[in-house]
Structure 1
Amino acid sequence: MPRIRKPVVPGWFDQDAADFRLLGTRCRDCGSVFFPREDTFCRNPGCAGGELDEVPLSRRGTVWSYTDGRYRPPAPYVSDPDVEWRPYTLVAVELAAERMVVLGQAAPGVGVADLAVGAEVELVPGVLDEDAEHIWTTWWWRPVAGASGREAAA
């Protein structure tokens, strides 16, 4: 029986879109964009708006910050406590058009040595976990080909 692909957090991205993007919302009154998405009210404290539209966020951004995770994080991150822990890389990416920073894991094989503040990265689909019934999908950030972090910092 084929496994079902399911987003680890429903509504945050369209895993089946040809143009994979994170999904946010924009307030019709003030234009503020939110991620994670907000579907009930404008989170801008200076706006009383309540009409929000779904918007795809930029696929590319620049590294705002990054670090390696050397601890076993809490849910919704899935990890087997009986398996040796492996560090992973977290990337905070500035999306200029949306005027926000989005946190996410770096793609497999991308470590802190591959990143630099200001380097361009792109959003790619990823798999967080798999079990007998599901493939749990997520998003990753990876350096744009030809623009390695260390070169961009120079």
Structure 2
Amino acid sequence: MVAGWFTQDSGEEDFRLLGTRCTACSAVFFPREDSFCRNPACTGGELAEVPLSKRGRVWSYTDGRYRPPAPYVCDPDAQWEPYTLVAVELEAERMVVLGQGVPGVRVSDLAVGMEVEVVPGVLNEDGDTVWTTWHWRPLGVAS
């Protein structure tokens, strides 16, 4: 898990991505920015943590059909499962956030403009650690 990128220890209903908003120009950033406003037209520097919209609309999508190279965790003995990568537009924040679709959702299940929601996901796990992340789930699909 990347600390500070999403809520922790919350159920699916309360799960949210976390960004930052500049108090001077109201620009929102994800991944979060804690040092300075990245808006080149702004001289402000105070940033406040904000939860991002839970829902958005599919802006674009594709599938990942290759086994990622090291240092990504990938069991070479396991059967490779392609994943769906989804770019989601958060209208209120006026930004696009990239993430994987929930397991089992394929590109054939998606359409540009379709509404999706962010849910907690698992990137990898072993006997000691679970690496959490976020996934995009089309509305009406159980995880």
Name the TM-score, length of structure 1 as normaliser.
0.85
Query: What do residues 102-126 of structure 1 show as CA deviations (whole Å, max 9, x unaligned)?
Result: 0000001100011000000011111
For structure 1, the residue ranges without an aligned partner over 5 or more in a row are: 1-7, 147-154
8 Å CA contact 1:15–1:137 kept in 2: the answer is no
User: What is the identity, as a one-letter code, of the residue corresponding to 2:115?
Assistant: E
Equivalent of residue 84 in structure 2, options 78, 89, 95: 89
Aligned residue in 1 for 2:9: 16
Q: What is the CA distance between 1:16 and its match in structure 2? A: 1.4
Over the aligned positions, Cα root-mean-square deviation in angstroms equals 1.6
Alignment of 1:130-149 (within 5 A): 130-145=125-140
CA distances 1:53-106 after superposition (whole Å, capped 9, x unpaired): 000000000000000011223577432233332210000000000000000000
Q: Which runs of 4+ in 1 moved over 4 A?
A: 74-77
Q: Note the 1:103-142 alignment, pairs <5 A.
A: 103-142=98-137
What does residue 5 of structure 1 align with? none
SS at match of 1:113: helix
Percent of residue pairs identical:
75
Please show how residues 23-102 of structure 1 align to structure 2 within 5 Å: 23-73=18-68, 77-102=72-97
Q: Which has the higher contact order (CA 8 A, sep 6+)?
A: 1
- The aligned length equals 139
| Distance verdict in 2 for CA 1:142–1:27, change over 3 Å | same
User: Using the alignment, how far apart are the partners of 2:88 and 2:70 within structure 1?
Assistant: 22
What is the one-letter code of the residue matched to 1:72?
A: R
Q: Distance in 1 between matches of 2:15 and 2:82?
A: 26
Structure 1 residues 29 and 143: CA distance shift in structure 2, 3 A: same
CA distance in structure 2 between the partners assigned to 1:95 and 1:31 by the alignment: 15
